[in-house]
């Protein structure tokens, strides 16, 4: 490892779309990072998401991010998703010095009823892009929703403020 750098966590999130609306969730007020703010569901990639499972080739596991995202969405909001596609990525250094890489994806709702994971989120809403403006979203989430809206219509864009 290079001097001065520490390991970072990898987080993957899903902008879940259903009937032209997006699922946003409010983080529990007990969360260390961004308590009580609105975001999209997701979570940490863990070695258990692939280690211990048979490899897809002699050396590698494939679709690791997609499988981790499906697991996180099932755990956090009780939904199944499909048609996962990349939206953007970001990096941050938290106030506690920890670093995170976040991979943001767009996914289609496949099945299930919203069921919130206790301790993670305390509210959920299906909102249009315009309706999302009324919520106290974590910085950057609205911009990601706007990118997802364009991606749904076939337009690929780089991240920018909306």
Residue 1 reports pLDDT greater than 60: no
Q: Kindly state the percentage of the chain with pLDDT values over 70.
A: 96
The CA distances from residue 31 to 23, 37, 75, 126, 159, in Å, are 19, 10, 16, 22, 27
Confidence at 162, pLDDT banded by 50, 70, 90: confident
Q: What is the mean pLDDT of the chain?
A: 92
Residue 3 reports pLDDT greater than 70: no
Residue 27 reports pLDDT greater than 80: yes
Helix or strand or coil: residue 136?
Answer: coil
Closest CA to 142 of 67, 94, 88: 88
Q: Kindly state the percentage of the chain with pLDDT values over 90.
A: 71
Tell the residue number behind the tokens 């007990």, with chain if given.
Answer: 30
Question: Which runs of consecutive H residues, i.e. helices, occur in 37-159?
Answer: 64-77, 129-132, 141-152
**pLDDT tens digits along 54-69:** 999 999 999 999 999 9
Confidence at 5, pLDDT banded by 50, 70, 90: low
Q: Would you say 88 and 104 are in contact if contact means Cβ atoms under 8 Å apart?
A: yes
CA distance 68 to 41: 12
Domains observed in the chain: 8-152 (3.90.79.10)
Q: Residue 90 pairs with which residues in a beta bridge?
A: 102
Which has the higher per-residue pLDDT, 53 or 114?
Answer: 114
Q: Which of 1-10, 31-40, 61-70, 78-87 has the lowest mean pLDDT?
A: 1-10
**How many CB atoms neighbour CB 140 within 10 A?**
16
**pLDDT tens digits along 70-95:** 999 999 999 999 999 999 999 988 78
């Amino acid at each position: 490892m290079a001097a001065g750098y520490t390991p970072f966590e990898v987080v993957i999130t899903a902008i879940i779309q259903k009937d032209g609306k997006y699922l946003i969730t409010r983080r529990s007020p007990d969360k260390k990072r961004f308590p009580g703010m609105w975001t999209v569901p997701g979570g940490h990639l863990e070695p258990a998401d692939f280690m211990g499972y048979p490899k897809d080739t002699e050396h590698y596991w494939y679709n690791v991010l997609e499988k981790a995202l499906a697991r996180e969405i099932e755990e956090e909001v009780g939904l199944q998703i499909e048609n996962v596609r990349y939206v953007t990525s970001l990096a941050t250094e938290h106030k506690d010095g920890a670093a995170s890489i976040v991979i943001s994806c767009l996914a289609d709702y496949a099945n299930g009823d919203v069921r919130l994971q206790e301790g993670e989120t305390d509210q959920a809403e299906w909102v249009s892009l315009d309706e999302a403006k009324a919520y106290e979203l974590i910085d950057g989430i609205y911009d990601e929703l706007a990118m997802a809206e364009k991606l749904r219509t076939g337009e690929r864009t780089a991240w920018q403020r909306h």
